[in-house]
Amino acid sequence: MNKSALITGITGQDGSYLAELLLEKGYKVHGLVRRSSSFSTGRIDHLYQDSHENPQLLLHYGDLTDGQALTNLVQEIQPDEIYNLGAQSHVRVSFDQPVYTLMSDGVGALNVLEAARLLNKHKQVRVYQASSSEMFGKVLETPQTETTPFNPQSPYACAKVYAFFQTINYRRSYNMYSCNGILFNHESPRRGETFVTRKITRAATRIKLGAQKKLYLGNLDAKRDWGFAKDYVEAMWLMLQQDAPEDFVIATGATYTIRDFLDLVFGQLDLDWNEYVEIDPRYFRPAEVDLLLGDASKAKEKLGWTPKTDLQELARIMVEHDLNLAKRELHNSGFQAS
């Protein structure tokens, strides 16, 4: 019998790559999708077939904040694995919406664990929680490992710390297979356009084609350990295939500033970013995470996982994608104008 999985956050960057991976492995994949007035399934449309023809991917309406509906859904589909990737995932936005961020990222994770605990009474289910390097916050140790203390610096990070410890609490209290992936920043052509890497590749490629003049950014000195999302979803799957549940840091082990990323991206397009980038204090955060650098030795040793894509290659993949996208946009707007 092939396994089945429920992915919350399937319409997001990671959810779409994970759905691809699990479908390739022969899983039946169920995705939780929020109802909205416009379609949100752009990242997974290429995977979706007519649900009347023996589909391997099925979508269900739901919301992490609606625990009862989540429990009903988990009882109905009886998944072998649950990947809780759904979240209000934007750190800057979490300062504007702290309570909603706690409800979706903290209480939402608890709702997933409760639904899994009830199912677990008669069927074993394994739970992956999307924890974050953001939990290290104002870092107390570099590089950060599974034993580095958390020191969160945003409502988002505080909510993720809550979810992290509940995941461990359910493991200890109910003997559940629930584990945390502490993932450092990971990017791709499917990254949301308000996160800094994608904001930069979208703008730089549009500037290259003359479709945009300026790029407004915030703090350029923060350092991040950036990997490729497609590599990272493999680690999520591996974490649920072990004999016993454990928590793992997933990172590249290299850190760069936003300036370094600007150099890489604009450099690949033969442009000098200093001519185009302006600082807008609106993008500063009330509290900033200055430096993230992960040590993924445990994942290498126990999961056999290592990152395959360095930052130069990641920037190349994103620039190539966004240059094509910008060309298509220009082409289409040309057609509309004529």
Catalytic residues: 132, 134, 156
Calpha distance 45→155 (Å, rounded) = 32
Q: What minimum distance in Å lies between the beta carbon of 173 and ligand GDR?
A: 26
Calpha distance 86→90 (Å, rounded) = 12
16 interacts with ligand GDR by CB under 6 A: no
Contact map string, positions 62 to 91, toward ligand GDR, x by CB under 6 A: ---------------------------x-x
Which residues lie closer than 8 Å to 153 by C-beta, 6 or more apart? 134, 137, 138, 287, 288, 289
Calpha distance 179→236 (Å, rounded) = 10
Residue 9 binding: pick among ligand NDP, ligand GDR, none (C-beta 5-8 Å cut-off by kind):
ligand NDP
48 interacts with ligand GDR by CB under 6 A: no
Calpha distance 37→7 (Å, rounded) = 21
Q: What minimum distance in Å lies between the beta carbon of 194 and ligand GDR?
A: 6
Stretch of residues binding ligand NDP (CB under 6 A), selected from 33-41, 204-212, 213-221, 253-261: 33-41
Q: Which own/partner pairs from 17-20 qualify as long-range (CB within 8 Å, at least 24 positions apart)? A: 17/188, 17/190, 17/229, 17/230, 17/233, 18/83, 18/85, 18/233, 18/236, 18/237, 19/44, 19/47, 19/57, 20/47
Of residues 37-96, those binding ligand NDP (CB under 6 A): 40, 63-65, 85-89
Verify cis geometry, omega within 30 degrees of 0, for the bond prior to 143: yes
Q: What minimum distance in Å lies between the beta carbon of 106 and ligand NDP?
A: 11
Stretch of residues binding ligand NDP (CB under 6 A), selected from 3-11, 170-178, 235-243, 257-265: 3-11
Residue number of the CB closest to ligand NDP reads: 12
| Among 314, 329, 41, residue whose Cα is nearest residue 188 | 314
Q: What are phi and psi of 186, to 5 degrees?
A: -140, 140
Contact map string, positions 192 to 221, toward ligand NDP, x by CB under 6 A: x-----------------------------
Residue closer to ligand GDR, measured from CB, 48 or 283: 283
* 3-state SS class at 32: strand
**Which of 130, 196, 200, 303 is in the footprint of ligand NDP by CB under 6 A?**
130
**H or E segment to which residue 264 belongs:** helix 258-268
Token pair for residue 27? 């899983």
**Which of 28, 186, 206, 208 is in the footprint of ligand NDP by CB under 6 A?**
186
| Among 209, 204, 213, 214, residue whose Cα is nearest residue 330 | 209
Calpha distance 52→45 (Å, rounded) = 16
In the complex, which residues of this chain contact ligand NDP (CB under 6 A)? 8-9, 11-15, 32, 34, 36, 40, 63-65, 85-89, 104, 108, 130, 132, 183, 185-186, 192
Interacting residues toward ligand GDR by CB under 6 A:
89, 91-92, 132-134, 184-185, 194-196, 199, 217-219, 222, 224, 258, 283, 285, 288
